């Protein structure tokens, strides 16, 4: 039962983490899709894009479920790291039945050309910190930050308290386990010495 409660607390913490934080923003209606491209590993200037993908993009997806967000990762560490924002031109009507490419971990989902009535804005992410990428994204996309509610802040505080208590509990239990192992080792050593004394008599 304890495991279920622990998992529930972790899940609640993760859900609050998706709703609140960097990337919790609502995109304007003229943003039609987002495409990101970067390498698997962090070397070659891809650390910032990877961190943006891991930490920021899930919140953007949560708050903008209707906006397709495609991620194209490749093994080319010297390759580009860029984000392409697609915007609907004022008054344009786009085809909504056009197939969207799926994300790829093998470099197969290149950024498509803008459709008729679309324009693109590109953000160069290479050799940049994820915070700088996010700031440029917010400026160029026109996204509006989501202000955490009082309930969100209370849940974040509760999650932080649980994490701190969990850390303290792990340290305490480790100390108890270490002490038990030392005691067991001492008893085993005493038995071994007693057996050796008996054998020598």
Q: What is the dihedral of CA 165, 171, 176, 178, to 10 degrees?
A: 160
Instruction: List beta partners, residue 82.
Output: 37, 124
Residue 43: pLDDT above 80? Answer: yes
Kindly state the average pLDDT of the residues 22-47: 95
Q: Give the closest residue to 114 by CA, choosing from 98, 102, 126, 103.
A: 98
For residue 194 the two structure tokens come to: 């007693």
**Is the Cα torsion angle 109, 99, 87, 30 positive or negative in sign?**
negative
Q: Give the closest residue to 122 by CA, choosing from 90, 80, 61.
A: 80
pLDDT band at residue 81, thresholds of 50, 70 and 90?
very high
Residue 128: pLDDT above 90? Answer: yes
The pLDDT value recorded for residue 30 is: 94
pTM for this one? 0.73
Residue 100: pLDDT above 80? Answer: no
Distance CA 21, CA 69 (A): 19
42: helix, coil or strand? coil
Query: Is there a contact between 14 and 55 (Cβ–Cβ < 8 Å)?
Result: no
pLDDT band at residue 83, thresholds of 50, 70 and 90?
very high
Q: Where are the extended beta strands (E) located within the chain?
A: 25-26, 31-39, 69-74, 82-88, 118-124, 144-145
Distance CA 145, CA 64 (A): 12
The pLDDT value recorded for residue 14 is: 65
Give the mean pLDDT of the chain.
87
Q: What is the DSSP-derived secondary structure letter of residue 97?
A: T
pLDDT band at residue 9, thresholds of 50, 70 and 90?
low
Query: Is there a contact between 145 and 159 (Cβ–Cβ < 8 Å)?
Result: no
pLDDT band at residue 88, thresholds of 50, 70 and 90?
very high
106: helix, coil or strand? coil
pLDDT digits (tens, 9 = 90+) for 136-188: 999 999 999 998 888 877 777 777 777 777 788 888 888 988 888 998 888 88
Q: Give the closest residue to 126 by CA, choosing from 15, 61, 41, 44.
A: 44
Q: Give the closest residue to 49 by CA, choosing from 25, 29, 79, 19.
A: 79
Q: Give the closest residue to 71 by CA, choosing from 58, 90, 89.
A: 58
The pLDDT value recorded for residue 97 is: 65
């Amino acid at each position: 039962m304890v495991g279920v409660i622990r998992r529930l607390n972790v899940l609640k913490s993760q859900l609050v983490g998706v709703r609140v934080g960097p990337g919790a923003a609502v995109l304007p209606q003229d943003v039609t899709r987002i495409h990101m491209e970067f390498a698997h590993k962090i070397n070659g200037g891809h650390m910032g894009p990877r961190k943006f993908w891991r930490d920021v993009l899930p919140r953007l997806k949560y708050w903008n479920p209707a906006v397709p967000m495609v991620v194209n990762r490749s093994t080319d560490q010297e390759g580009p790291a860029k984000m392409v924002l697609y915007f609907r031109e004022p008054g344009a009507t786009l085809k909504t039945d056009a197939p969207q490419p799926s994300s790829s971990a093998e470099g197969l989902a290149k950024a498509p050309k803008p459709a008729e009535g679309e324009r693109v804005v590109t953000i160069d992410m290479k050799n940049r910190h994820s915070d700088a990428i996010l700031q440029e994204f917010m400026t160029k996309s026109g996204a509006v930050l989501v202000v955490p509610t009082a309930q969100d802040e209370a849940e974040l505080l509760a999650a932080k308290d649980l994490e701190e208590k969990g850390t303290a509990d792990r340290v305490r239990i480790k100390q108890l386990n270490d002490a038990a192992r030392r005691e067991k080792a001492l008893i085993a050593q005493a038995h071994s010495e007693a057996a050796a004394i008996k054998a020598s008599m």
